Amino acid sequence: MNEKRSPDSLQPPEAGRPPAQHGPNSVPPRWSKRILLGFLGLCVAAVVAGFLADIHGEHPWEEVPLFHALYGFLGISGLILVSKALRRLVMRPEDYYDDE
């Protein structure tokens, strides 16, 4: 309702265009680069720490080195790809149910 009530003038200028991919351009590129680098550092630190610390797994799969890191990365990759595929199946126009 609120979407409908708000006049079009409030819509961002991009809204009229076909949905484009978002770019993280609300954060200045300089900062986003720094954030990305920081994040990369965190990943590396986590891996290194993982080798240093004594990781005692509860589950047999945890014996695999870097199991959690791999599982996280692959899991999310799979998740995103499957979701993209899911769209083909379930996506409908926004007003699909409006003719009830």
Partner 1 sequence: MTSSLPPFLVFFVGALLAAVTRGTVRKVLLVLVPVAGALNVWGVEEGYAWQLEFLGYVLEPVRADRLSLLFGYLFHLAAFIAVVYSLHLKKAENATVQHVAALVYAGSALGAVFAGDFISLFVFWELLAVSSAFLIWSRRGPGSARAGMRYLVVQVVSGVALLAGALMRVHETGTLSFGFVGLDGLSGWLIFLAIGVKAAFPLLHSWLIDAYPEGTPTGTVFLSAFTTKVAVYALARGFPETEILVYAGAAMACFPIFYAVIENDLRRTLAYSMINQIGFMVCGIGVGSALAINGAVAHAFNDVLFKGLLFMSMGAVMHMTGKTKASDLGGLYKTMPFTAVLCMIGAASISAVPLFNGFVSKSMIMSALIDGGYMWIWPVMLFASAGVVEHAGIKIPFFAFFAQDSGIRTREPPRNMLAAMTVAAIACVAIGVRPGLLYGLLPYAVDYHPYDASHVLTQIQLLAFAIGAIVVFQLLKIYPAEIRAVNLDADWFYRRAGARLVRRTGDAVAQAGVALRSAAAGVARPMYEGAFRAHGPHGPLARSWPAGSMVLWVAIMLAAFLLFQFL
Fill in the amino acid letter for 14: E
Which among 34, 68, 77 has a CA at the least distance from the CA of 49? 68
Q: How far apart, in whole angstroms, are the C-alpha atoms of residue 59 and residue 70?
A: 15
Site for partner 1 in 64-83 (CB under 8 A): 66-77, 79-80, 82-83
> Does residue 16 touch partner 1 according to CB under 8 A?
no
> Does residue 17 touch partner 1 according to CB under 8 A?
no
Residue 66 tokens read as: 């870097």
Output phi, psi for 91, to 5 deg.
Answer: -75, 135
Q: 8, 16, 63, 96: which one contacts partner 1 (CB under 8 A)?
A: 96
Q: 29, 37, 38, 61: which one contacts partner 1 (CB under 8 A)?
A: 61
Which residue shows structure tokens 């290194």? 48
Q: 24, 34, 38, 64: which one contacts partner 1 (CB under 8 A)?
A: 24
Determine contact, residues 50/66, Cβ cutoff 8 Å. Answer: yes
Q: Which residues bind partner 1 (CB under 8 A)?
A: 1-6, 10-15, 19-27, 36, 39, 42-43, 46-47, 49-50, 53-62, 66-77, 79-80, 82-84, 86-87, 89-94, 96-97, 100
